[in-house]
């Protein structure tokens, strides 16, 4: 990882410049301080060593395994875009350590569990997309404290119950999606 210690941006689209390779294909662009890759397999705990990383884009790969808890050591992260992939397990409990995070997109995954309580610490978030991620449980009321949210997508998951009253605090919300056939009862845009 020493070679990549100054990397600030990782973009890993499925369509790589060398599509005939099936495993890790990394291209370092020193001028842009970024990495382009087509990835399969797990996201390794060593990702936690990329301390300067600001944008982690792992979109449209075939990555498997769990999201390592070491990702929560990347306190400069502003964006996580990791969908679609084949991640499973739960979101890291300490995800709230990523206080600079503005965007988290983890859709079309096989996650389980709920949105962890530390998520409430992500006060800079403007975009959350967990569409088809596999998360579930009752919608946490602490999401209503994330007042900078402009885009919240939770559809096609295992959430149930009422939409918490605290969601009325999301005054900046422009886009919000929940399962069309969900058992959540209150409509988010009923406020005047």
> What is the tens place of the pLDDT at every residue in 134-151?
999 999 999 999 999 999
- Percent of the chain with pLDDT strictly greater than 70: 71
Closest Cα partner for 149 from 111, 115, 184, 109?
115
pLDDT at 183: 43
At residue 82, φ and ψ (nearest 5 deg) are -135, 45
Look up residue 2 and give its two tokens: 């020493």
pLDDT of residue 189: 37
Q: What is the mean pLDDT of the chain?
A: 80
Task: Say if residues 133 and 105 touch (Cβ distance below 8 Å).
Answer: no
Pairing status of strand 110-111 against strand 136-138: unpaired
CA distance 64 to 52: 24
Among candidate residues 142, 150, 152, the one with its CA nearest the CA of residue 121: 142
Strand-pair category, 110-111 with 40-42: unpaired
How confident is the model at residue 7, as a pLDDT? 54
Q: Quick one: pLDDT at residue 62? A: 86
Supply the pTM of this predicted model: 0.76
- 156 has pLDDT over 50: yes
pLDDT recorded at residue 141? 97
pLDDT of residue 139: 94
pLDDT at 174: 85
Phi and psi torsions of 42, nearest 5°? -80, 155
Alpha-carbon gap, residue 142 to 139, rounded angstroms: 9
21-29, Cβ contacts within 8 angstroms, sequence gap of 24 or more: 28/3, 28/4
Burial of 175 (0-12, 13-18, 19+ CB in 10 A): exposed
Sheet containing 25-29: order of strands: 25-29, 34-38, 9-11, 55-57, 79-81, 103-105, 127-129, 151-153, 175-177
């Amino acid at each position: 990882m020493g070679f990549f210690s100054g990397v600030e941006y990782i973009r890993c689209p499925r369509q790589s410049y060398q599509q005939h390779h099936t495993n890790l294909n990394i291209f370092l662009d020193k001028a842009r301080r970024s990495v382009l890759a087509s990835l399969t397999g797990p996201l390794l705990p060593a990702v936690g060593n990329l301390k300067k990383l600001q944008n982690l884009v792992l979109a449209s790969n075939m990555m498997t395994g769990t999201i390592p808890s070491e990702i929560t050591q990347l306190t400069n992260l502003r964006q996580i875009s990791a969908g679609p992939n084949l991640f499973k397990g739960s979101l890291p409990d300490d995800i709230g350590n990523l206080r600079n995070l503005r965007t988290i997109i983890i859709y079309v995954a096989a996650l389980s569990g709920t949105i962890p309580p530390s998520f409430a610490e992500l006060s800079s978030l403007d975009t959350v997309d967990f569409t088809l991620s596999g998360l579930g449980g009752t919608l946490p009321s602490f999401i209503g404290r994330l007042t900078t949210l402009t885009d919240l997508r939770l559809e096609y998951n295992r959430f149930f119950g009422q939409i918490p009253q605290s969601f009325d605090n999301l005054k900046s919300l422009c886009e919000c999606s929940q399962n069309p056939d969900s058992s959540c009862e209150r409509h988010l845009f009923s406020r005047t």
